[in-house]
Amino acid sequence: MRRAKISVIGAGNVGATCAHWAAAKELGDVVLVDIPEKEGVAKGKALDLMCAGPMERFDANVVGTSDYADTAGSDVVIVTAGIPRKPGMSRDDLIATNVKIVKSVSEQVAKHSPNAVMILVSNPLDAMVYTAWKASGFPTSRIVGQAGALDVARFRTFLAMEIGCSVEDVQALLLGGHGDTMVPLPRYSSVHGIPVSEFLSQAQIDACVERAKMGGGEVVKLMGTSAYYAPASGSVLMAEAIIKDKKRILPCAAYCNGEFGINGFFVGVPCMLGAGGVERVIDIELTDSEQKLMDNSVEAVKELVEIVNNTFPELAGKNAPVGAA
């Protein structure tokens, strides 16, 4: 039986941790890619991870490289490449820089792994998912962004901490964009089927919602750099669902074609992930207040896409396919 192949683009904290989780779960062989100037970093981290195999009892081949030819035939490609926003850098500057990077990466992925599913982690996420779709020419089912899995995990963690129960028994749902415009849905949150409102006051639930929204900023404030354990875990959770055709229902940045009243944009929504990538977007009924928050989140996504299109009109003009391959 052929092993699955997972390529991770970007050997920084998030990318290297993606390689770690994927190898430890034995999802397949892993290729860790970075730019030529950082090829030694990619190779060194890959070798270090391989040497953990005998002790952690996993058998996965992990290689580091700067040559996209080594990624050929990948089943899943996780894209973490990009730069963080620096002091004095405008949002437009950050988007312009990271669009160039993700555009180049996506073109290489399409060249060497034309049947892969791409999972985007690079920020600003909603703009990067759009860029990857346009630049790769992949159908929308094989382009998906990781943010919802991370945001829900944070929300579940904070609810469990407040309740004092196992995080394993907490289920929750979030929609919309990553960050301030996310749309938490506490009425869909429960502890082993019991609504969280049976455990917490509305004020406590609201505090958990706000903490989930600011979860990334809280980590940055504490250690001076972006989170990487949980973002990588969310990415590999999605990769596992795709590689194993698990039909997991997970919140992802997926293309909406009428769902939630959204047309033509990648937005955080519940999805069924399987071998075909995003096999279905789960459209649920929202209250008026929830729909208003969702609409606001979509407007923020539209603003990001407009910046991409204005900066890179060649992407706007590309007719990328919609739907399944």
Q: Which residues are catalytic?
A: 178
Report the 3 state secondary structure along the chain: CCCCEEEEECCCHHHHHHHHHHHHCCCCEEEEECCHHHHHHHHHHHHHHHHHHHHHCCCCCEEEECCHHHHCCCCEEEECCCCCCCCCCCHHHHHHHHHHHHHHHHHHHHHHCCCCEEEECCCCHHHHHHHHHHHHCCCHHHEEECCHHHHHHHHHHHHHHHHCCCHHHEECCEEECCCCCEEECHHHCEECCEEHHHCCCHHHHHHHHHHHHCHHHHHHHHHCCCCCHHHHHHHHHHHHHHHCCCCEEEEEEEEEECHHHCEEEEEEEEEEEECCEEEEECCCCCCHHHHHHHHHHHHHHHHHHHHHHHHCHHHHCCCCCCCCC
Residue type, 77: V
